[in-house]
Chains A and B, each alone.
Chain A
Amino acid sequence: MHRLPQSTRRHFLGLAGGAAVAGAVPIVTLRPAESTPAMLASAINNVTQGVLVRTGKVKLDVPPLVENGNTVPMTVSVDNPMTAENHVRSIHVFNEKNPQPNVGNFHLGPLAGRAQVSTRIRLADSQKIVAIAKLSDGSFWSASIDIIVTLAACTEEVI
């Protein structure tokens, strides 16, 4: 009667050993951005209104090791002057797999001095983050990264 559960347990322990090894490798890797799912594309289009978004100028900094997806430090900067004639008007950050594609919209202007904003974000899962900058000449520039988030051990029940 006990035989079946015993052998199941042995099999389970075998799997557990594999999981522990997986836990020892770096848990976050950055890969080039891949495809853009529909929700993310639609949220981006709400900002760009169909204007072509070019890759470049924007730098998206997220730590190489995400220790907890509930609070991930993020800095977005744009390599562009901040003068009356030529400046960054806004920075928009999106995510791919949280329940909602928007993370934040940051409205700047020539008075900002430097086009850089830092905040802390939530990542519900491994996913792509996209940052788009709108310049005063109406052009859009972007950067994106794929972030891998693993679940922490011993998390509490949510509520």
Chain B
Amino acid sequence: MPSALINVPAKAKRGDIIEIKTLMSHIMETGYRHMASGEIVPRDIITSFTCRYNGSEIFRADLFPAIAANPFIAFFTTATASGKFEFEWIGDNGFSETASASITVE
């Protein structure tokens, strides 16, 4: 299973705007490169990334070959309640990975 790095503050005050940073192992092969033989290296990218906070989608991204390998995506949300962030990456060749992180909101 590929590694992912997730950074969510463990604790926040209700109403705080917090940053969430994610890094996922992936080659992000563009589909525009050629091998020495002249053949095209087939595209193999992550096409979609979603973050849910206690079940509700708070952020979603459609990714294209112009996103660098090992995609880094950072975004914000308002801390509303203690609970769980769920992350999902979907891509070519059946790529599908999930990760989660919990937060305590006081």
Q: Is A–B contact present in the complex under a CB 8 A cutoff? A: yes
Residues of A within 8 A of B (CB): 70-72, 82, 95, 98-100, 102-109, 111-114, 116-123, 157-159
- Once A111-B58, A119-B74 are accepted as A-B contacts, the answer to whether A99 and B68 lie under 8 Å apart by CB is no
Judge whether B76 and A104 touch: CB under 8 Å: no
CB distance from A115 to the nearest CB of B (A): 8
Interface of B is mostly: strand
Q: Does B99 contact A (CB under 8 A)?
A: no
A119→B58 CA distance, assembly (Å): 17
Residues of B within 8 A of A (CB): 17-18, 30, 32-36, 41, 53, 56-69, 71-78, 80
Judge whether A114 and B76 touch: CB under 8 Å: yes
CB distance from B97 to the nearest CB of A (A): 17
A116→B76 CA distance, assembly (Å): 7
A123→B69 CA distance, assembly (Å): 12
